[in-house]
Structure 1
C-alpha cells in the first residue's frame, strides 16, 4: 500500500492543473478522458470532503456507460475541491490558479510575484510580446531591474519597439534589458525573483488565462537551485535587442 502523503501546497497546485487540463469533450467517453477522470478521483479523495468523495466515485463508476450525463458534473466537484485546497494551502500559493477569461485575476497574480522583487526580475518566455511591458512589468517597484529573456525563433516583433519605448521613457528609474537566446532554445515560462526564487508559469504572458485556465506556482528549492544558474548562463550568452 502506498503511504506517500501530499501536502496542502502540492495538492492545491495539482488540483489547479487538473482543472486546467479538463477535456473539452468530457461528456463523450474516451479512454483518455477516463484516465483523466481517474486522476481526478484520487485528487478529490485527497481533499477529504466526504460528500465530494462520494460524488466523484459515483461519476467514475458510471462514466463509461453514461458519459454524457456524468461527465459535465466533474467540473463542479473539482471546483469545490480546489476552493477547499486553496484555503488549506500556504499563503504563498494563494491565487496561483486563474480561471480562463479572468484577465484581472491574471494581472493580480503575476503582479504579486513581481512586487516581491527588491533588485532584479528575470522573465523568461519564448513567446514574449509587448504585453509583458504594457500589462505586467509596470507592477514591479521602481528601481527593480527587469530582464526579459525570449527566443529568437518565437519572439513577437512587437517586443523590441516596446522595450525601446520603455527604456526611453523610464531610463534608470525602471531599468530594462531584453535579450534573445538562439532559436528554439527556450522551453520554460518562468519568473526569477532576486536570483533566489523561481515561479513557474503555465502559459505565455501574452495569452495568460485568456482562453484556458493557467497557474503560477513557486518552484521547489531544489528545482530553483538548478534553474537559476542555468538561466543565468543563458542570459549571458543571449543577444541584446
Structure 2
C-alpha cells in the first residue's frame, strides 16, 4: 500500500534522523545495510525516478576502502538526494504536518515546529518527557494560548533541578490564567517524548525538549488516529497514578 503524503514525509524525516555516519563507513554494518535498504525504498517511493536511480547506483558504489577518493562525493550526493526527497514530501504533506523535521543548529525551527502543534489546543496540552527541564516552559509551553491547561509528565529518576522552581515561578506569575500541573512517574518507567493535544491528537518527538536542535536532527511526527488513541489511553492511566512533586 502506498504511503500517504504525510506518512512519507514522516518516514523520510525519520530516515535522515537515523542516518549512520556514512563518511566513516557506518553503512558497512548490518544496521547500516538495513538503513541503506530503507533509504533506497523511500527514495523510490517519493516518485522521482532520476533521483531513485542515482541514489541506488551511488549507494551500491560505496566502498569500504578508507582511501577511496570518490567516497565523500558519493556520500554528499546521497545526502543531497535525501534532503530533496524530504523537501518534496513536505510540500505534499498536509499543512499541519509540515515543518516537523528539525535539523541541528536550528533552534527557531524547533520552536516553530512545537508552536505549530500546540497552537491548535483548545483545552489541554500534555508534554511527556523523562528529561523535562525548565526550558520546556520558557521555550515551548509559553507558546500555548491562555487558559490552556499545561500538564507535564516526567520521570522521577531524571527530575531536573530547574523544572519545579520554573513551575512555581510560572504559577506565581500566571495563576489561573495559565494553569499548570506536573507529575512524576516511578523511576525509569518513562521513555516516550510526546505532545498530546486536547486528549485526542498525539505527536512523537525523537529527542527530549532540552536538546532539540543541538545534538542531532530529529522529527516531530503526528501519530495516526489509532496509535494516538492508544497513547492517550495509556498516558491517562499513567498520569492518574503518577505523583505530584513535594
1:97 is matched with: 101
1:19 and 2:19 aligned: no
2:183 is matched with: 179
1:218 and 2:186 aligned: no
Please give the alpha-carbon distance, in whole angstroms, between the structure 1 residues aligned to 2:117 and 2:73.
Answer: 41
Superposed counterparts of 1:1-241, under 5 Å = 4-28=1-25, 30-31=28-29, 32-64=31-63, 67-241=71-245
Cα deviation for residue 108 of structure 1 reads 0.6
Please give the alpha-carbon distance, in whole angstroms, between the structure 2 residues aligned to 1:168 and 1:217.
Answer: 33
Cα deviation for residue 69 of structure 1 reads 4.3
1:170-216 Cα deviation digits (max 9, x unpaired): 11010111110111111111011111111111110011121211111
Structure 1 runs (4+) deviating above 6 angstroms are: none
Question: Aligned Cα RMSD in Å?
Answer: 1.4
Cα deviation for residue 68 of structure 1 reads 4.4
Cα deviation for residue 73 of structure 1 reads 2.1
Cα deviation for residue 51 of structure 1 reads 2.2
Question: Residue 59 of structure 2 contacts residue 78 of structure 2 at CA under 8 Å; is this kept in 1?
Answer: no
Please give the alpha-carbon distance, in whole angstroms, between the structure 2 residues aligned to 1:113 and 1:229.
Answer: 20
Aligned length: 238
Question: Residue 27 of structure 1 contacts residue 72 of structure 1 at CA under 8 Å; is this kept in 2?
Answer: no
TM-score (norm: length of structure 1): 0.94
Tell me, which stretches of 5 or more residues in structure 2 are unaligned?
none
Please give the alpha-carbon distance, in whole angstroms, between the structure 1 residues aligned to 2:165 and 2:18.
Answer: 35
* Corresponding residue SS for 1:217: strand
Question: Residue 196 of structure 1 contacts residue 224 of structure 1 at CA under 8 Å; is this kept in 2?
Answer: yes
Range moving further from structure 2, 203-212 or 135-144: 203-212
